[in-house]
A and B are shown apart, each in its own frame.
Chain A
Amino acid sequence: MTYPLLLTAFAISTCGLVYELIAGTVASYLLGDSVTQFSTVIGVYLFFMGIGSFLSRYVNKNIVLTFVQVELLVGLVGGSSATLLFILFERVESFRILLYGLVAIIGILIGLEIPLLMRILKDRLEFKELVSQVFTFDYVGALLASLIFPLILVPYLGLIRASFLFGLLNVLVAIWTIYLFKAELPWLRSLRAMAVVLVIALVGGFAYSDKLMAFAESSTFQDPIIYSTSTPYQRIVITGGGKDVKLFLNNNLQFSSRDEYRYHEALIHPAMASLKHPRDVLVLGGGDGMAVREILKYPSVASVTLVDLDSEMVSLFRDQPLFSQLNGDALKDKRVSIINQDAFTWLKRCHNTFDIAIVDFPDPSNFSLGKLYTDTFYRAVKKVLGPQGLVVVQSTSPYFAKNSFWCVVSTLSSVGFQTVPYHAYVPSFGDWGYVIGAKSPFQLAASYPDGLRYVSADTVNQLFSFPKDMLPTINSVNKLNNQSLVHLFESEWGEYAETH
């Protein structure tokens, strides 16, 4: 019975180290700064192993029973640790308390294992043999764990499955011990039943780890995901809770159906209504069709050209009734033609003329998006506008990123547009900014289409005044060869993200 028990030492030490590595890795994934995460996790873990070893002195009766119970508990807690950490990351106030709590529990249990095992073996081996052999197996197990973890477990199984697998191993150790000591153990039946239930649960977790991972991801969103897909250009996620449908592109909120009318009315109407008879409209970006819905409220419109890179995004909002009802089937309208190309390259080849261009791109959060906010880009827009032409640009928040907002204004002015900046309050986003660029003097409309809920002739003037805290401190023009907008945007939103 001695060698089987020594093999147990080998197995449990492997499991123990794997849990520690899993906790360290998950913490680095989720919190970043791997050096800090690994050193604190390892330190806390070893400390609580010491606590576990200390507590082992209070186990006086039925050491084998306690050992089996510890193994079952380690199997449960350790085995589900990665899943717990991933899923609860978004749902708990303080993730670190959960993390170190979990590390502490596993540490205590692992700390109990070796002293208990040595006491089980103490009558079977001479003391020097006992110490030498138990620790040999213990350390060899540690080496094995440290090698298979980065080389096999993480690349081939992933963290969630690896943790279930090793939880299973702990439960098997318990079953093995129950088998070896069946003559001495009380409550055999209930111990066996418990082990079987755990085996089933852990095997289930292992088999369905993909679903669990998806669930863990979905917990980054408040509401249930009703649609998600990865196109060659972006990850589209649509969540829906009751009346509120939200669209996320690469995890950034694009609209919430509860208040998108505010965003889109403010984007379209101040400029559109100021034109006498807008005929030909160009929309760059905005594949969700909400802007087109607003544009079609003008009977003079003869054509709407929508240029959006992502054909899947457009067909989603044209052909899926669940989503096309949000834009009132605007994308199915005969007047709308859809072009799935890069806006910049398309513009450079375009020879048509438009009365108004709506530029509704994602925020300039990286250098390739930043190119769509440059003077070179706006020059290309200007070229396709008629002499009375207007352009409207969604231009991030003048509150959170005021210099970014005013950089868009300066860039539009630098290519010869008369600029009219304004902003609207959209609860889901906060205070949001737009800029109208006009080729000839701009004058606000006296009336607006019927049925608008946000923009009206009486209140529209408010949109055009900026309080002091939204005025710029830096003035710069965004160019392909300086990308000053991306630099500003990074520093301003970065600052905001850090303090919240």
Chain B
Amino acid sequence: MPRPISRSLFLKGLVGLTAGATVGKLWYDWMQAKASIPCKMLGPSMSIGHKLRDGATLGRKSEQPPEECKVTIIGAGISGLSAAWWLKRQGMTDFRILELESHVGGNSASGSNRVSAYPWGAHYVPLANQESQYVRMLFEELGIIAGYDSTERPIYNELFLCHEPQERLFKDGSFQEGLVPKRGLQKSDSRQIAKFFETVKRFRDTVGSDGKPAFAIPLDLSSTDQAIVSLDKLSMSQWLQDNGFDSKPLLWYVNYCCRDDYGSALEHVSAWAGLHYFAGRRGNAANAENNSIVTWPEGNGFLVDKLKQGLKDQIISGAPVIAVSDSGSAVDTVFVRSETGECLSTKSERVIFAAPRFISKFLLKGDLAKSQVDFEALSYAPWLVANITLRTVPRARGTALAWDNVSYYSRSLGYVVATHQNITTRAGETVVTYYLPLSGSDPNVARHELLSTSSEHWSKVIVADLEQMHPEISKDIIAIELWPWGHGMIRPSVGFIWGDTRRKMKESQGKVFFAHSDMSGISNFEEAQYHGIKAAQGVLDQLRRS
């Protein structure tokens, strides 16, 4: 009879197995870490911004006399470029554009690699509304709108209209077409979803007592009818609750849309802004559905490239502005040439301040510093954008790869595919742009988290998130590039859009005009362009009169 296994042998065995498993796991992790995906943190030049904030001295004095011009534009994002576009259109070319970064574009910046061009931020524009006349003007000039049919509907260039399939949603283990959840719905969910879309459709067709549409693009053209404007005083989540919407899939969808457009969750977005997303877009086309959009591999970087053509003589990039002051007869704008460290300046009759609005409190000096704006009321959502180069298009269950690919379970917004608009049949390498709004916590906390965490950490978070949709994606990743946006976009908090702060933000201060989508409270191409053009019009108007 053999000896049964003794207690001590059993315990020793157990300890041995545990030790073995631990060593094995450590070894495995080490091997995994060694095989990690190359990742790189890019991103806006924050050091200069932070030095400005902290009042540090920047640059050394130069002997060069100030450059004289009629107008100085600060910032070459969509607002600044649009202001320049308008000035040029009106025959005015005596201006300079000063840009902090070495590239132009602001939130619409883009990059490119061997595989494709790709966006670093804004990546599409919806079909232009009737009242969005400046968007239409630009689209006509660039051939995005090729003409109009007999009923005055614009005919869009089909290569730019988002190709089918436009969107898909990962839910319950596979992808479905479209972003509105379809699978696993209760009867009450479907009923509420239908009711929600009927309600927003009513808002879309509503005209206020002043004869203006309830929700217009740009939003300053909206009706100021109190019945509609008062929606700004409650949050989107409150509005949904008040109207009996409590279906989880519906709330997910509306929350997704708010995070997508405003970088914030339902509770932090004003109901007016939340509804504007659904009811504001009234654009149509002769050759597309009403909910279509135009997009390019490089996102709105396409529009930036077009706008900056012909502005070569005016754009000075790598030129952070450090002070703007009114010397009585002119405005002096002091900037640093990043390359040489020299302080230079422009002397101009007017300034269009087209940088994020909160930065003006650091740059405007002397009398100009006496602003009425309560900058504390401005809240900005931090974002992380990643461009991921893949060996092959990501494989998954359900419908085929779309332009916009979203997961029901993720805190990210999913990803858009840069090569979607290509007219090639070559399968293979692609770039996808992944968007993560840090909408969960307080923006300041989230901003700190964003900027203090390593790129390796973030790329692990992103890969883990993508693996939920595409279990095998990690072996197809060639590289990940990250772009943290500390102040990604302004948040339309409750009361902001129709409140005092925004009204004051729009007012010019002496010879300085402001232009930025911050002054709309929502961050998109149409708003940025509108404020750029309005500022240019204001400047031209004053110059003409004086």
Contacts and interface: CB of A to CB of B under 8 A. Distances in A.
Interface of A: 2-3, 124-126, 129, 232-233, 309, 342, 344-345, 348, 366-369, 371-372, 374-377, 479-483, 486
B425 A372 contact: yes
Nearest to B161: A481
Nearest to B294: A481
B450 to A, nearest CB: 35
Contact of B163 (A124, A125, A309, A371): A371
A345 B423 contact: yes
Contacts of B287: 479, 481
A344 B423 contact: yes
Contacts of A371: 163, 423, 425
Nearest to A366: B400
Contacts of B1: 124-126
B56 to A, nearest CB: 51
Nearest to A380: B423
B2 A2 contact: yes
30 contacts: A2-B2, A232-B426, A233-B425, A233-B426, A233-B427, A342-B423, A342-B425, A344-B424, A367-B163, A367-B165, A372-B425, A376-B158, A376-B159, A376-B423, A377-B423, A479-B164, A479-B287, A480-B158, A480-B159, A480-B161, A480-B163, A481-B161, A481-B162, A481-B163, A481-B166, A481-B288, A481-B289, A483-B163, A483-B164, A486-B164
B290 to A, nearest CB: 12
A388 B233 CA distance: 66
Contacts, number: 71
B184 interface: no
B164 A481 contact: yes
B366 interface: no
Contacts of B2: 2-3, 124-125
Interface string B1-17: 11010000000000000
Nearest to B164: A483
A153 B423 CA distance: 41
A348 B158 CA distance: 13
Nearest to A136: B5
A233 B266 CA distance: 45
Find the residue from B4, B289, B401 having the highest chain A CB count within 10 A: B4
Contacts of B401: 367
Contact of B425 (A348, A368, A483, A486): A368
A367 B400 contact: yes
A380 B288 CA distance: 19
B163 A345 contact: no
A168 B1 CA distance: 32
Nearest to A233: B426
B403 to A, nearest CB: 10
A482 B164 contact: yes
A368 B400 CA distance: 11
B428 interface: yes
Nearest to B425: A368
B424 A368 contact: yes
Find the residue from A2, A126, A344, A367 having the highest chain B CB count within 10 A: A367
B161 to A, nearest CB: 4
Contact of A368 (B158, B159, B288, B427): B427
A313 to B, nearest CB: 13
Contact of A480 (B4, B164, B426, B427): B164
B514 to A, nearest CB: 37
Find the residue from B2, B4, B161 having the highest chain A CB count within 10 A: B2
Contact of A345 (B4, B165, B166, B424): B424
A126 B3 CA distance: 11
Find the residue from B1, B159, B163, B292 having the highest chain A CB count within 10 A: B163
Interface in B145-177: 158-159, 161-166
Contact of B428 (A125, A232, A479): A232
B423 A483 contact: no
**Which 3 A-B pairs rank lowest in CB-CB distance, beginning with the nearest?**
A483-B164, A344-B423, A481-B161
Contact of A309 (B4, B159, B288, B425): B425
Given A371-B425, A479-B164, A481-B164, 14 more contacts: A125-B2, A126-B1, A129-B4, A233-B427, A309-B425, A342-B423, A348-B423, A368-B424, A371-B163, A374-B158, A375-B158, A480-B158, A480-B161, A481-B158
B467 to A, nearest CB: 16
Contacts of A342: 423-426
A125 B2 CA distance: 7
A486 B292 CA distance: 19
Interface string B422-436: 011111100000000
A480 B164 CA distance: 6
B38 to A, nearest CB: 23
Nearest to A480: B163
A129 B162 CA distance: 71
A377 B400 CA distance: 22
A479 B427 contact: no
A372 B424 CA distance: 9
Find the residue from A129, A368, A374 having the highest chain B CB count within 10 A: A368
Nearest to A478: B164
A125 B4 CA distance: 10
Contacts of B400: 366-367
Interface in B324-350: none
Interface in B282-337: 287-289, 292
B158 A479 contact: yes
A126 B1 CA distance: 8
A368 B401 CA distance: 11
Contacts of B426: 232-233, 309, 342
Nearest to B288: A481
A102 to B, nearest CB: 28
B199 to A, nearest CB: 27
A254 to B, nearest CB: 15
A344 B159 CA distance: 11
A2 B4 CA distance: 11
Contacts of B423: 342, 344-345, 348, 371, 376-377, 480
Contacts of B161: 480-481
A367 B424 contact: no
Contacts of B288: 479, 481
B448 to A, nearest CB: 39
Contacts of A483: 163-165
Interface in B222-258: none
Find the residue from B1, B164, B401 having the highest chain A CB count within 10 A: B164
A342 B4 CA distance: 74
B158 A367 contact: no
A309 B427 CA distance: 12
Nearest to A343: B425
Contacts of B159: 376, 480
Contacts of A345: 423-424
Contacts of B163: 367, 371, 480-481, 483
Nearest to A477: B287
Contacts of A232: 426, 428
Contacts of B164: 367, 479-483, 486
Interface in B383-436: 400-401, 423-428
Nearest to A129: B4
B424 A481 contact: no
A229 B245 CA distance: 57
Contacts of A125: 1-2
Contacts of A366: 400
A126 B161 CA distance: 79
Nearest to A486: B164
B114 to A, nearest CB: 15
Contacts of B162: 481
Nearest to B424: A342
A377 B288 CA distance: 16
A191 B165 CA distance: 64
